[in-house]
Amino acid sequence: MALSLSSFLVPISLLLVSGGYCATVTYDFDVGWVHANPDEAFNRPTIGINGQWPIPPIVATKGDRIVVNVKNSLSNESTSLHFHGLYQNGSTHMDGPPSVTQCGIAPGSSFTYNFTVDQPGTYWYHSHSRGQYPDGLRGPLIIHDPDSPHKDLYDEEIVLTFSDWYHDLMDGLLAGFISIANPSGAEPVPNAALVNDTQNLTVSITPGKTYLFRMVNMGAFAAQYVWFEHHTMQIVEVDGIYTEPTDADMIYMTAAQRYSVLITAKNTSDANFAFVGSMDQDLFDVIPDGLNPNVTGWLVYDNGKDKPAPQEVDAFEPFDDFTLVPVDKEEAYSHVDHTVQLDLKMDNLNDGANYAFFNDVTYVAPKVPTLYTALSTGANATDPAIYGSNTNQFVLGANEVVEIVLNNNDPGKHPFHLHGHAFQVVSRSDEEAGSYDASNAPELPATPMRRDTILVRPNGNVVLRFRADNPGIWLFHCHIEWHVASGLIATLIENPLGLQDQLAGKIPQNHLDACKTSNEPTEGNAAGNTVDLLDLTGEYKSPGELPAGFTARGIVALVFSCIAAFLGMAVISWYGIQPVKAKTG
Amino acid sequence: MPNVFAVPVFFICFRECLETSIIVSVLLAFLKQTLGPEHDAVLRKKLVRQVWFGIALGIFICLCIGAGIIGTFYTAGQRVFERAEWIWEGVFALVASIIITLMGAALLRVNKMQDKWRSKIAKAMEANDLSLKTNGKIKRWAERYAMFLLPFITVLREGVEAILFIAGVGVGLPAKSFPLAVICGLIAGVAVGYLIYKGGNSASLQIFLIISTCFLYLVAAGLFSKGVWDLEQNAWVKLAGEGAAEAGAGPGSYDIRKSVWHVNCCSPLENGDGGWGVFNSLFGWQNSATYGSVISYNLYWLVVIIGFLLAAYQERTGHWPLQRPKASAQEVPSEITSEHETDTEKKKHEGVTSSEVREVPA
């Protein structure tokens, strides 16, 4: 009794100590279908919250507890919410990805996310269920910071979300994407670009003031070039990490990246100025006729004046985020304990569809959410084998310095995102540089930029480092939603024994109920086997590899064809050699 | 190599040219025989000149027609073909294969071919003889220049036939792959024709003809299989669109559901893989074989084998299997039966025609 009482009292006392700063912010989200037409071109079913779309931002202050009660009223799809960029220290079970840290929230059921945020910055939240967020279930998540190093530099803040937009539902697009009819894996091209889930946005500006623009790319696929005509951006934050203020005329924001920039208004209101988000068309396989890759908004100084059409730009020359320096000047980890090498490729499997691979393995979600496997397998949780054969799993030891070497053996650009951490970007190659070669690498930056989503260039590489000080199950994946569906995911199992200490037996009942509702096991290895943890019989697997050249079938066919040809020629020769009743003249 | 030498085109030229050579040689032999040295040398020379003139004019007109067809195809027609390239290639490959198959066997029976033409010439002469009674200047002219008209018309016929076949086989082949194949085919055809004329049907010649016939059927089998493959590829390209084209010879360039084997190299379509295109033209090689292409290839040979066995049976017994022998066989007005006229009949024809020729006024 005394024990339980004290454990009950500790959090309360903590609450009291931190005093008035700590609040609990509660959101009740009823997720359901609405109709929306943000580009005024096509009215489509869209996933809204509480009957509304665009969905509300989640806003809190550093140190707050956030509680999100989700009710799934979609009726035809299960759902989930991931809070992109939040480290979820001690609460990996609130991270969101189904089959990783929870079971999907079945239609009709409810689920509660409950965690504290100790990190200020610009984030976003979105469904992590298969291909779902581009249907509308994504919005900004802003954590304010009373102690921001930049708080004296601006007067007001404005959130700008950028996004691509499809007219078709993801369900149908995904079926066509991972299909024998799409052997090259050409991603569906968006129909429009949006800013704040609309187009031709106007932002009222007061002359002389300085604004903090918190910009989020919450698109499914397209990176966007962003620029403000005749205004310079000063980057002060990327992905929740404060940076030394750095000027930029144009930034390149991949899907899932965030930038906070300071923009100082002109002192006169003589004119209004356009700002543009322009989708990177290099990503698109075939650019459809009539696609407008741009979305325009205006900084409006004077409502009575024109809103000029944006000027054409000669070339896209965006700022290179690699050069940014974090305010905290955290030094590059010089010693690496654990290197995780990931070689990316795209290839076809024997169902004829195109898949994405890390080290020749395409991700397929396990039967048991990986977190529940880690929590239910005792000392065996450190054995990577129990997590399945298609999860690209890596078990990281406590407080190891981990280095991810990502070699992009694909001619496409990929924005990679790590759950649970911001990583140091210690090296990033130009395109066509090939695989990373440590012995031939440029000198590491002293205080490397950190962020949680990084662009890797076509056939290039990137090297990321972080300390494994956050026990949890963290996905590392491409944030192009198509590539998530085609399996470009790795699972990092960070300090599983420490994780058991934190969470074993503490998974909330409504999380376990979610699995019960959808009939998913919550114990055992990836295949749900609780007895022999190395027996993966019945696990979910990817389609097989393409047959390599001549299989038995091919050899038989070839031999038969040869025999047929020789037999045929033998008969012809036999016929030809026969004496003819000659009548030669 | 397939870019500069279209093997099927070569064989068609060879075959048609050989047939023409045989006709010419039959005609010349005929003149030699009937207007031997004891006869009027001037008249013979004149008639021989007529034969050559007829041949030359026939060839010339054929060349004009061929040039015209090729010209139209590579200007106006190209776009139509490009739009449904695989369908055209497939259909023409199948048609070409069937044509080669039907006419190929005749190479093994060159003496039959000679007989056929001998009797045709004889019949033509006879017809001229009969039509004399109906009179008219044209008839008289035709009769007078029979030795010109016969080779002229046969060359024209064979030539136009060849052009149509080549057009069929050649769809989808680059224009530059034609000339060399055509020239080689013509030279080979003339050469073999000359050998036949000079040496008769010698054993080594027969072996040569057997080998070329075997090749001819290999090509036809490959074409047949390729035709089916092309039609399947058409369906695949329709389904997979851009992706199929982008894939080159790699994954995605073929329909895995229909695949029997696939190697990511050695594609006859890839320019870099040079030699495989030759294998494709000669044997119908595909780096990506389908059930359709393999089964059609084997089926083709099965049909050919059965066909030759039947023909051999018919030659031996004089009737087809399951057919009542002799009496009914005679009634079948097929070429083969006509070729099996008895020697006495043949001599009769020759006798008639040669007497007619002698009466042609100088």
Is A191 in the same domain as A297? yes
Number of domains in chain A: 3
Is A70 in the same domain as A134? yes
Q: Cα A548 to chain center, whole Å?
A: 33
Asked if A577 has any chain B CB less than 8 Å from its own CB, the reply is yes
* CA pair distance A514, A110, nearest whole angstrom: 8
Q: For residue A296, is it within any domain?
A: yes
Q: Given the DSSP bridges, would you call strands A58-61 and A138-144 parallel, antiparallel or unpaired?
A: parallel
Q: Which residues of B touch A185 (CB under 8 A)?
A: 243
Q: Cα A444 to chain center, whole Å?
A: 26
B302–A557 CB contact, under 8 Å: no
Tell which B residues from 236 to 265 touch A, by Cβ distance under 8 Å.
239-244, 246-247, 251-253, 255-257, 259-264
- Answer for the pair B154, B59: CB distance below 8 angstroms, yes or no: no
A302, A329, A356 - which closes a domain: A329
Q: Tell me which residues of chain A have a pLDDT lower than 50.
A: 1-19, 582-585
Is A350 in the same domain as A295? no
Q: For residue A528, is it within any domain?
A: no
Q: Which residues of B touch A547 (CB under 8 A)?
A: 259, 261-262
- Answer for the pair A223, A217: CB distance below 8 angstroms, yes or no: yes
Is A101 in the same domain as A113? yes
| pLDDT tens digits for range B150-204 | 788 878 877 877 777 777 666 666 667 777 888 888 888 888 888 877 766 567 7
* CA pair distance B163, B165, nearest whole angstrom: 5
Query: Higher-confidence residue: B269 or A181?
Result: A181
Q: How far is CA A552 from CA A369, A558, A565, B111, in A?
A: 39, 10, 20, 46
The residue of chain B nearest to residue A181, with distances taken between CA atoms, is: B240
A220's tokens: 């499914």
Asked if B199 has any chain A CB less than 8 Å from its own CB, the reply is no
A183–B247 CB contact, under 8 Å: yes
| pLDDT tens digits for range B244-261 | 767 777 777 888 888 888
Is A199 in the same domain as A318? yes
Q: Where does residue B200 fall: left (phi above 0), alpha (psi -120 to 50 degrees), or beta otherwise?
A: left
A571–B309 CB contact, under 8 Å: yes
pLDDT at B55: 85
Asked if A546 has any chain B CB less than 8 Å from its own CB, the reply is yes
Closest CA to A140 of A20, A254, A59, A44: A59
Residue B144's pLDDT band, with cuts at 50, 70 and 90, is: low
Write down the mean pLDDT value for chain B: 73
E strands present in A310-434: 338-348, 354-358, 393-396, 401-408, 414-418, 423-428
What letters, b where the CB count within 10 A reaches 16 and e where it falls short, cover B214-237? bbbbbbbbbbbbbbbbbbbbbebb
pLDDT at B223: 84
Q: For residue A4, is it within any domain?
A: no
Closest CA to A414 of A357, A465, A367, A331: A357
pLDDT at B315: 83
Asked if B111 has any chain A CB less than 8 Å from its own CB, the reply is yes
Q: What percent of chain B has pLDDT over 90?
A: 7
Is A108 in the same domain as A221? no
Tell which A residues from 245 to 304 touch B, by Cβ distance under 8 Å.
285-286
What letters, b where the CB count within 10 A reaches 16 and e where it falls short, cover B24-37? bbbbbebbeebbee
pLDDT at A279: 96
Q: Which residues of A touch B253 (CB under 8 A)?
A: 183
pLDDT at A4: 41
Asked if B332 has any chain A CB less than 8 Å from its own CB, the reply is no
Is A406 in the same domain as A449? yes
CA torsion sign for A396, A398, A402, A408 is positive
Is A124 in the same domain as A217? no
Q: Chain B interface, mutation test: which of A346, A360, A555, A561, most B Cβ atoms within 10 Å?
A: A561
A112, A147, A182 - which closes a domain: A147
Residue B139's pLDDT band, with cuts at 50, 70 and 90, is: low
| pLDDT tens digits for range B300-311 | 999 999 999 998
Give the structural domain span for A231: 149-329
Taking the CA atoms of residue B171, residue B173, residue B174 and residue B175 in that order, the dihedral angle to the nearest 10 degrees is -50
Closest CA to A372 of A541, A520, A536: A520
Is A401 in the same domain as A508? yes
Name beta bridge partners: A234.
A247, A262
Q: For residue A299, is it within any domain?
A: yes
Residue B71's pLDDT band, with cuts at 50, 70 and 90, is: confident
Minimal C-alpha gap between B70 and chain A (Å): 33
Q: Where does residue A164 fall: left (phi above 0), alpha (psi -120 to 50 degrees), or beta otherwise?
A: beta
Tell me whether the omega of the peptide bond preceding residue A207 falls within 30 degrees of 0, making it cis: no
Tell which A residues from 318 to 357 touch B, by Cβ distance under 8 Å.
347-348, 350-352, 354
Tell which A residues from 174 to 213 touch B, by Cβ distance under 8 Å.
180-186
Instruction: Choose the closest CB to A564 out of B206, B209, B301.
Output: B301
A583–B115 CB contact, under 8 Å: yes
| pLDDT tens digits for range B329-346 | 444 444 443 334 334 344
pLDDT at A227: 97
* CA pair distance B59, B155, nearest whole angstrom: 7
A21's tokens: 């700063």
The residue of chain A nearest to residue B284, with distances taken between CA atoms, is: A561
B114–A584 CB contact, under 8 Å: yes
Q: What percent of chain B has pLDDT over 70?
A: 68
Q: Chain B interface, mutation test: which of A351, A555, A569, A574, most B Cβ atoms within 10 Å?
A: A569
Domain of A135: which CATH number?
A: 2.60.40.420
CA torsion sign for B280, B285, B289, B292 is positive
Closest CA to A240 of A131, A321, A126, A121: A121
* CA pair distance B215, B7, nearest whole angstrom: 10
A147, A170, A198 - which closes a domain: A147
pLDDT at A428: 95
φ/ψ (deg, to 5) at A310: -65, 150
Is A206 in the same domain as A136? no
Is A501 in the same domain as A512? yes
Is A261 in the same domain as A395? no
